Amino acid sequence: MHTDAPEITGEINRSSPMPYYYQLQELLQTWMEENQIPPHTQIPSELELGERFEVSRTVVRQALLELERGGLIYRLKGRGSFVTQPKLRQQITELTSFTQDARERNTRPGAKVLWQEMQPAGETVAQHLQIAPQTPVFCLERIRTINGEPVALETAYLNFEGVENLLTEHFEDQSLYEILAVRQGIIPFQAKQEHEAAIVRSREAEVLQLQTGAPVMLIARTTYTADARPVEFVKSVYRGDKYRFVTRLKQT
């Protein structure tokens, strides 16, 4: 190994019913997590792992393949396997904006506007915004980036008195919530959010730079003001390889 990373501890338990490849995969995962092995660290070669754990090359390959599928390592042809960047931890306990979350992680938030226009509300949008279908709503579709890399696609539908003023706003690399607060005096106060795992669709794959079949998290959020008026209904597609959603639970 060409790094100062600590040794991988543990052994394959030969009397366990767990397949060897699975045990090796677990040992490697624990090693990476417990030692917080930095991203892009090279992990030992197939040969080294085979010798160290006294298992065949096939077993090592299978373990590495599983780690790669789980997004924990990436492999470069002819160069070996490397630890991936950890996922962004997205807390879902408080109402925050994309921009706030990014800044809290000391990363750079960004937004690329795909379209920004008034549109008649469809059934679903109307229902969430508590308005009659066909009422004109402001639609904003943005690719959200972190340090310049696309991580999510967000389509927001907004409705409130004077919403059409948003047509002249510049949303490129700006925070929607900040613009709402400063220009319209609207402060998002609470939200209802639904999460659902899915496979990315073609257009989303293209804008998010994902391969066909990649996993994503679909999120639907309806955000309300303190006096319970719906402000926005947002449909988002978050990259599964980039995000981990974190919540807290307590007994009531």
Backbone angle region of 106, left / alpha / beta, with phi > 0 → left and psi within -120 to 50 → alpha: left
Strand 109-120 to 136-146 pairing: antiparallel
Residue 110 DSSP class: E
Backbone angles phi, psi at 35, to 5 degrees: -95, 0
**Which of 107, 142, 111 lies closest to 234 in space, CA to CA?**
142
Compare residues 68 and 149 and give the one whose CB is closer to ligand 16G. Answer: 149
Does 236 bind ligand 16G (CB under 6 A)? Our answer is: yes
Euclidean distance between CA atoms 129 and 157, whole angstroms: 8
Residue choice 32, 49, 219, 231 for contact with ligand 16G (CB under 6 A): 219
Whole-number minimum distance, CB 162 to ligand 16G, in Å? 18
Q: Which stretch binds ligand 16G (CB under 6 A): 41-49, 70-78, 120-128, 231-239?
A: 231-239
Residue choice 31, 98, 138, 160 for contact with ligand 16G (CB under 6 A): 98
Does 116 bind ligand 16G (CB under 6 A)? Our answer is: no
Does 186 bind ligand 16G (CB under 6 A)? Our answer is: no
Whole-number minimum distance, CB 77 to ligand 16G, in Å? 36
Does 145 bind ligand 16G (CB under 6 A)? Our answer is: no
Residue choice 128, 221, 239, 242 for contact with ligand 16G (CB under 6 A): 221
Does 233 bind ligand 16G (CB under 6 A)? Our answer is: no
Whole-number minimum distance, CB 217 to ligand 16G, in Å? 9
- Report DSSP letters for 23-62, one per residue: HHHHHHHHHHHHTTPPTTPBPPPHHHHHHHHT--HHHHHH
Whole-number minimum distance, CB 251 to ligand 16G, in Å? 26
State the sign of the Cα–Cα–Cα–Cα dihedral 215, 98, 104, 189. negative
Q: Give strand pairing partners of 150.
A: 145
Query: Where along the sequence are the contacts to ligand 16G (CB under 6 A)?
Result: 97-99, 109, 154, 156, 175-178, 219, 221, 232, 234, 236
